[in-house]
Structure 1
């Protein structure tokens, strides 16, 4: 992931690898003990607009009379609106973040359990339904066929081959080019073979 140059420039950096969650890859967070966060700006959150308390909160502030230019009035009203929206977020939506965190922790726990024995549920279902000529069995066969199907390959020149003839020709050309070539081989130790 990193090289010596990176380590020399950023000695305090570290990576924290997370469980997959709802991603199709393993996310990670790169952090440093010396990085500090600056001022956190105020941001409007779309879910506030769905609350019944949102419009009355905005109307109350927007109806106030402020002296000055139009731009000055808008800026003052927006600044006055911040505390009300923060309170709305705290009262109505703070539990969403907590519930989301709890659900994510539960999901990560299940994924870790699944990581320990990923085939547990699949094996139980296969034992119960697998070989009984069921829809599950035929679905599993169809899925395996799709997974094993070669739909496209790149030939040695980098061209995409998509038809059966082109794919066959690309494979033959590649493996024929390997025939008759030598490559250095390593001797396998007997202890390695004995250990399995």
Structure 2
């Protein structure tokens, strides 16, 4: 970072996990000394880099431990030079709730704008005749996973302002376990859905059906064989 700042020109920024904080108040849960952060602090000053305006989560990392041993730190940040701010005066970094991860994801925007919400994953219901029985795959757990993830994010938003609250920490642990279970169920469903593509489209005389047949015929072709004497027969 320091080397690039010596010869680099124009607007530029650097973003990521720096594995260190810039100021002592950017970590709670364990002590911190000035000597521990001095190297990173000096590197930012020598490089003439400043932290981008930030919204969302202040602490971008935590160790996910229980109350008493839990540590919150601001390890992730976006740094930019003066030229970047001249070119993009309205830029900001939005750190989202970490969810199941220990780091918070970040969205960098070069202008003030409302963050669009993702489209809802709709229900999927399909009935398949398989010989003498019916296989029904009713996937409503995906909607439940969205609700659970939203609840987890809300808890983590509250933890932002009160990170040492034991009740909030316990609620986050329970919500995380529920989201993990629902994500496993979602993965199982998507795997089943992939395996059933042949059943749904193969019987429909579709292009998918014919492409599979062609591939199977090609792989089953025997272009040459060898007899016991080693002679090749085509």
TM-score (normalised: structure 1): 0.27
Structure with greater helix percent: 1
TM-score (normalised: structure 2): 0.23
Which of the pair has more CA radius of gyration? 1
Structure with greater strand percent: 2
